[in-house]
Structure 1
């Protein structure tokens, strides 16, 4: 029994800095690198991919809506053909940057509003799947369990990797509590670590209203932009290792 730890990284932009990517790389096994649409820029992307290569961490394309101002957290009613081409563009850009950094893109993880939308929006889910299939149908996609994107990916022959979230509160239906609501993000490293150990060993998680639901995930996301992200990720990894759960890539 093992678990993958992934984190959203490479989200700094110009003179604006977000997260401590270098420290996170020492803890996780997979790095979701921003492709420039919701955050990131070429310098940040190459620096982040280089750090991943040096740490033996797998690189994933963290694709998003074209929404720098909103950090990719706003729904956008994008034409499916346009969305397909924009995802192709982002994956391709990061493939080139990763190659220059001595590594490669090995999976895809949609970001923010796009991630949440394709959990239920079939047209946009199909558009994202079409983009990945067109670029490289060996690339897995990280997604929520029992989601439309999982079904669309598997129907197209792609590998769908179910993930859970270390520091995000869950609703009873398995969706994530909106960031607009209180309690949606958990900041206590010990609490987060205990949740992830439970996810990995018992395959369950407690919801925001106290229910216990199943969560059978291959990967767990520890957000790189959460306050105290490095302390949280470090506590999670230590908790898993103490519980006898190795942290290894899902690839």
Structure 2
């Protein structure tokens, strides 16, 4: 087998992991094969043993390698298991939005039942900020303010898992929503686009009407999803 070749100085761990991953995916180390020891890999890659160790740990996280006590490190797969944030980045905005809609409709229902005085203040502030952002010309600021309203609704559900899921969705959705607003010119005729739907959602949560909150969330999100599918 040819030498792996020395690496550039930085970032060493990422480069080491990348070189080892290529060897694995190309079949140089088939599934079931024991990896050369740290000292051998460090010498071939031109890095320290600690760098090799971190690179191996990275590939183990991806499901390619597994360490066996007293036996060494073995190749267990040639295709990496992508983590959730990576899969979200690869998914289409419409696909992510469908899942977001399922989560947020239930979150709105729970928020109407569980909201506190602090939540009500946060919802009012978020809705006011969205209205103010709509008066400006910055589409990114408007989208961020729009997302903040939904974040406040999810927070009012008081379910940390829902909040964490929403936080994972935001990076995958934000730029797609900005592009949608710009592409379709949604704010040219109505700078505060969607305000009525968001106001209805917040009002239902404030009123403690779970069914109306879920329905308002469903209608508002379905409208955006329809535009995403035809954009």
Between Structure 1 and Structure 2, whose CA radius of gyration is higher?
Answer: 2
State if a TM-score over 0.5 links the two structures: no
Greater strand percent: which structure?
A: 1
The interval holding the TM-score normalised by the smaller chain is under 0.3
So what's the TM-score if we normalise by structure 2?
0.25
Give the TM-score normalised by structure 1. 0.23
**Larger relative helix fraction:** 2
